[in-house]
Amino acid sequence: MLAVLYDIHGNLPALEAVLEDARDAGADQYLLGGDYTALGGWPLEVLAVLRELPRAEWIRGNWERWLASRGDVPDVPLLQEAAEWTSEKLDGETIAELSRLPQTTALDGTRFSHGSPISDMRSFLPEPADDEEELIDGATEGRLVFGHTHVQFRRQGPGGVDLVNPGSVGMPFDGDPRAAYALVSGDGELELRRVSYDHEAAAAEVRRRMPGFADDVAERLTTAMPPQQ
Domain layout of the chain by residue ranges: 2-223
- pLDDT at 138 > cutoff 90: no
User: In terms of C-beta density within 10 A (0-12 exposed, 13-18 middle, 19 or more buried), how is residue 107 classed?
Assistant: middle
Q: Does domain 2-223 have CATH number 3.90.230.10?
A: no
For the chain, give the mean pLDDT: 95
Q: Is the pLDDT reported for residue 34 higher than 50?
A: yes
* Per-residue DSSP letter, 226: P
Total residues belonging to the chain: 229
pLDDT at residue 114 tops 70: yes
* pLDDT band of 228, cuts 50, 70, 90: low
Q: What is the tens place of the pLDDT at every residue in 67-88?
A: 999 999 999 999 999 999 999 9
Give exposure, 132-161, as e/b (b: 16+ Cβ within 10 Å). beebbeebebebbbbbbbbbbbbeebeeeb
At 137 the pLDDT is 86
Phi, psi of 162 (to 5 degrees): -85, 110
* pTM for the model: 0.94
For residue 63, give every residue at least 6 positions away whose Cβ sits within 8 Å of its Cβ, in sequence order, or none. 9, 34, 35, 36, 37, 38, 39
Reported as a single tens digit per residue, the pLDDT across 39-49 is 999 999 999 99
Q: For residues 71, 73, 76 and 78, what is the CA-based torsion angle, rounded to 10 degrees?
A: -120
